[in-house]
Every structure is written in C-alpha cells, then in structure tokens.
C-alpha cells in the first residue's frame, strides 16, 4: 500500500501554512463554512495548477459527467504544467460516479489533480480511504461543541492576525482580536470584512487596537450596514437612504461606512470586468462564476447575481471610478460630517433603479 501523503486537516491549519502539506492528486475539501471553503479552494486550485488558472477546469457537480472531468484531467496545459479539475458541489457527483473516482485514486499514475468540493465526506468509505492514500482532506467547518470549539477559536485568532498583515496591510492587537470575537458571531468572513474596514481607519503603521474595535464594531450597526449595502445594490434608494440616516444618527462615521461600501461594490466591478474579458476571449461568460472569482462568498452568490443584473454592466464598470472619487472627496473637500454623507448618498442615487439608463430608455 502506498504511503499516505496527508492526513485530514482543518481549513485553518491549512491556511496558516498552505505550502506545508503535500496535497497529492486527489484533494477533498469538505464542510459547509462558505468563507473558509472559498479561501481553501482558491489556494488549493492555485497550488495544483502552479498558478496557471487555465490549467484548472471547474465543473458544477450536478451538471457534469465523469467523462468531462476525466478529459480535463488528461488534457495538457498550454504552459506545460499539470492539468487539474475542480468539481464544485460534488456530493451528487460523488454518489453517481463513486466507482470511477475509486478507480482514479487507485491508479499507479494519475495524469492530473482532482479537487472535490463536498459538504460531507465520511472517512470510513472505500473512496475516502483510497483518496487518503494519494491526497489530502481539508475540513471547512466550525465546531459547535466540545474542546474543538476552543481549539478552533485559538487557530482562528492566529489566522486573523496573519490575515490582517498579509491581506489588509496592518497589524492587529490580541486585545482587538478578542474584542472582535466578543462583538461578532463566529463567522470568519464577517470578521475579515470588519478587519478590512478597520484597516482603513488607522494611520499607516499603527495597529488596530481594542478601543478602535469597540468604537467601530457593533452587532446592530454591522447588520444595518449590510442592509444598507444590499439596498444600494438592489437599487432601492429609499431603503438605503433610510438605513444610512439611522447609522449616522447612531454615531457611525461616513468614512468608515464608505470603506465597507467600497469593499462590497468593488466585487461587482471586478465581476463585470471578468465577464467582459471572457466574452472578448470567445468564452462563455457566467455571472455566478465571475462573482465568486471576484470574492463574493458562495452563500451570497444568488443575491449578488441578481444585484449585478440590477446594476448593469455599464454602471458596474464605472464603480471603481465612482468609489475613487468618493474616497478622495471624503478625504478632501467633503471631509466634514455634514458634507461627507452626500458622497454615500450620491452613490445610492447612482445605483438606484430610477437612475438606470436601461429602464429610462436612454
């Protein structure tokens, strides 16, 4: 029997040291925590395809056949690297093609790396045991009880500190991390977005501390900010303006709100660019795939797809410039509280259904 390349490991253990485990030729990513799974799949895909995005073909498990996946695994990359295939939402695919998957894992030579995205992966099946001999199993879930909860939180705090430095260009005190865990639900996606927002509020080189967290993060305010952003993207100007007014009355600062607004809306701009690039290359463009590649979490994809259709390609392509103009205004001529709210209001109106040229026939 071949030597096992990697045992089962948690998503956080992998993300903290992504280059350490040997992934092998069959990588199973299981669980239902969307943010962790997105980050793990992005890293795994990049590793097995050696940074060549075209070398990894993505399939939707409910819609593909083993023959399609097998063809992708045996194809030769244009840049000379190995081939790879990712099967998303693959629970049904695994059930239907279990024997093919078992045979692939048992081969002496496998032409490409197979990534399987599933919710459930029992370790006592013949397939799981065969896959463990030649690859890795990364679990993307949050424990609900027992000592695993404490272990997860310790690893999550370590990861959040590393993430702040690598992705958001700032350091974060241990007290600030503890405060985030006190104020927010145990959702690493939400915490990461809060750190991204807080990073824009600290001077260059200064850390995020506990006072900054307590003054700018709160359960009600966080929910209402997301409600406002959703209303903006839905084109519901009345609701978005109402939420904005409530947030400002509660003490939120426009520059902090704009940071979160910008982080969300830039994903629509990026997705629109990806769709246009695909069309120019003669490839079929999928809004859902473009949004996920732009960083939208999987559980938000359906809403985001609807919102991007509402925004439209024309406005989505202008979002980066609109956000840049608003950011410069907030730091310049419209920096006072009374004037700074107008920058957010201007964005709300620009994204409203009433301002849509398609509806107006312009």
Q: 259 and 200, same structural domain?
A: no
What's 85-144 look like in SS3?
EEEECCHHHHHHCHHHHHHHHHCCCCCEEEEEEECCCCCCCHHHHHHHHHEEEEECCCCC
Report long-range pairs for 42-45 (Cβ below 8 Å, ≥24 apart).
43/14, 43/15, 43/18, 44/115, 44/138, 45/84, 45/86, 45/115
Tell me the pLDDT tens digit for each residue of 83-94. 899 999 999 999
Q: What is the pLDDT of residue 4?
A: 42
User: With contact defined as beta carbons under 8 Å apart, do 209 and 176 qualify?
Assistant: yes
Total structural domains in the chain? 3
Residues of the chain with pLDDT under 50: 1-6
Q: What is the pLDDT of residue 150?
A: 82
Q: What is the pLDDT of residue 105?
A: 94
Residue 277 belongs to domain with CATH number = 1.20.272.10
Q: What is the pLDDT of residue 339?
A: 80
Q: 252 and 188, same structural domain?
A: no
- Per-residue b or e along 106-118, where b marks 16 or more CB atoms closer than 10 Å to that residue's CB: eeeebbbbbbbbb
Give a yes or no: residue 213 inside a domain.
Answer: no
Q: What is the pLDDT of residue 361?
A: 58
3-state helix vs strand vs coil in the chain, percent to 5: 60, 10, 30
Q: How far apart are CA 116 and CA 118, in angstroms?
A: 6
Q: What is the pLDDT of residue 115?
A: 97
The model carries a pTM of 0.61
Look up residue 133 and give its two tokens.
């001999």
Domain of residue 188: give its range: 148-208
Residues linked to residue 85 through DSSP beta bridges, in sequence order:
57, 114
* 87, 104, 139 - which closes a domain: 139
Residue 167 belongs to domain with CATH number = 1.10.8
Give a yes or no: residue 362 inside a domain.
Answer: no
Give a yes or no: residue 242 inside a domain.
Answer: yes
Mean pLDDT taken over the chain: 88
Give a yes or no: residue 247 inside a domain.
Answer: yes
Residue 127 belongs to domain with CATH number = 3.40.50.300
User: With contact defined as beta carbons under 8 Å apart, do 27 and 44 qualify?
Assistant: yes
Give a yes or no: residue 33 inside a domain.
Answer: yes
């Amino acid at each position: 029997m071949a030597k096992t390349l990697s045992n089962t490991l948690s998503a956080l253990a992998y993300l903290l040291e992504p280059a350490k485990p040997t992934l092998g030729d069959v990588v199973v990513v299981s669980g239902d925590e969307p943010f962790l799974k997105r980050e793990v799949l992005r890293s795994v895909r990049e590793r097995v395809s050696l940074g060549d995005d075209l070398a990894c073909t993505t399939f939707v498990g409910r819609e593909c056949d083993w023959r399609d996946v097998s063809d992708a695994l045996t194809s030769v990359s244009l840049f000379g690297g190995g081939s790879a295939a990712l099967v998303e939402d693959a629970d049904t695919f695994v059930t239907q093609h279990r024997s093919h998957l078992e045979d692939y894992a048992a081969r002496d030579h496998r032409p490409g790396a197979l990534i399987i995205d599933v919710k459930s992966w029992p370790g006592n099946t013949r397939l799981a045991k065969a896959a463990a001999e030649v690859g890795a199993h990364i679990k993307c879930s949050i424990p609900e009880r027992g000592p695993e909860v404490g272990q997860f939180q310790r690893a999550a705090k370590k990861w959040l500190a590393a993430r702040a430095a690598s992705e958001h260009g700032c350091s974060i005190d241990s007290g600030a991390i503890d405060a985030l865990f006190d104020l927010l639900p145990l959702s690493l996606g939400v915490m990461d977005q809060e750190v991204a927002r807080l990073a824009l509020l600290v001077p260059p080189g200064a850390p995020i501390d506990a006072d900054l967290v307590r003054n700018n993060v709160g359960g009600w305010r966080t929910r209402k900010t997301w409600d406002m952003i959703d209303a903006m993207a839905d084109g519901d100007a009345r609701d978005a303006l109402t939420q904005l007014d409530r947030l400002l009355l509660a003490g939120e600062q426009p520059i902090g709100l704009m940071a979160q607004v910008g982080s969300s809306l830039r994903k629509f701009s990026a997705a629109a660019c990806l769709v246009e690039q695909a069309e120019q290359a003669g490839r079929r463009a999928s809004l859902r795939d473009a949004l996920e590649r732009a960083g939208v979490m999987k559980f938000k994809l359906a809403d985001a797809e609807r919102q991007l259709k509402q925004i439209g390609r024309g406005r989505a392509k202008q979002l980066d410039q609109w956000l840049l103009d608003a950011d410069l205004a907030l730091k310049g001529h419209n920096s006072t509280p009374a004037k700074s709210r107008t920058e957010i209001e201007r964005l709300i109106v620009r994204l409203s259904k009433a301002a849509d040229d398609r509806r107006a026939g312009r």
